[in-house]
Amino acid sequence: MAGYGRQSCAVLAFLCISLIALLPGKANAASLSVKVPAYEKSCFYTWVDQQYEKVGFYFAVQEGGNFDIDYSVYSPTDKVVVEGKRSSQEDYVFTANEFGEYSFCFENYLSSVDDKLIDFDITVESEPRLDLPIAKAALLAEQSTPVEDSMQKLDADFIAVERTLRYFRTRENHGFSIVEKTRNRIVRYSVIQTLLIIAISVGQVFIVRLLFDKGASARNRV
């Protein structure tokens, strides 16, 4: 019985290690924030070791202007992989057909005044590669399917939650910016209205004094 238990534990450990090996490994990842000045271009770079790796690119404009930015992704041979205009948030996954250095650029040419604050992620994932003996591979195929499906489902759920949180964070920043702009407009209008009231009051006092002074001068001449 004890031998059977040890054998089961060994099989379970083998399955766990094999599943970890099967899962896509992240070769490179970057999560950054950058402020792109008005009428400037900022580029970032990541290295892809081999062809057909999966490259993920996410960004969201958190502050500045109308929350839009021009963006483009270039391959190592300067071919355009992805590009867009006046976008506030995007989430792409593409297959790298070339190995080498990829460029991810943001262009703030839309605005000559406002800087843009951008959150972005760049990830490079390797395709799963597993070299196992035929007998062990057959055993893995028979016994690992439920566990592998559960792990893939958890990974998909985690990605969905992460994207939802990113979306709500972006919407929160947009809403806060709208509230802040509205408050600033109210303050400006209040100041202008106050100054107009003061100017009108001073003008009325000046006109009344001028009328009284003219009346007094007329009586003195009589």
Establish if 54 belongs to a structural domain. Answer: yes
Q: For residue 150, what are the domain limits?
A: 15-174
Q: Which amino acid is at 96?
A: A
Q: Give the HSE-up count for residue 82: Cα atoms under 13 Å, Cβ half-sphere.
A: 20
| Cα–Cα distance for residue pair 79/94, rounded to 1 Å | 14
Establish if 156 belongs to a structural domain. Answer: yes
Q: What is the pTM of this model?
A: 0.59
Establish if 121 belongs to a structural domain. Answer: yes
pLDDT in tens, 63-90: 888 889 999 999 999 999 999 999 988 9
Establish if 72 belongs to a structural domain. Answer: yes
Establish if 5 belongs to a structural domain. Answer: no
Q: What CATH number corresponds to the domain at position 75?
A: 2.60.120.680
Q: How far apart, in Å, are the Cα atoms of 167 and each of 96, 155, 172?
A: 26, 18, 9
pLDDT in tens, 152-161: 778 777 777 8
Domain count of the fold of the chain: 1
pLDDT in tens, 161-202: 877 787 787 778 778 778 887 888 899 899 999 999 999 999
- Starting at the edge strand that comes first in sequence, how are the strands of the sheet with 54-63 ordered? 26-36, 116-125, 54-63, 89-95
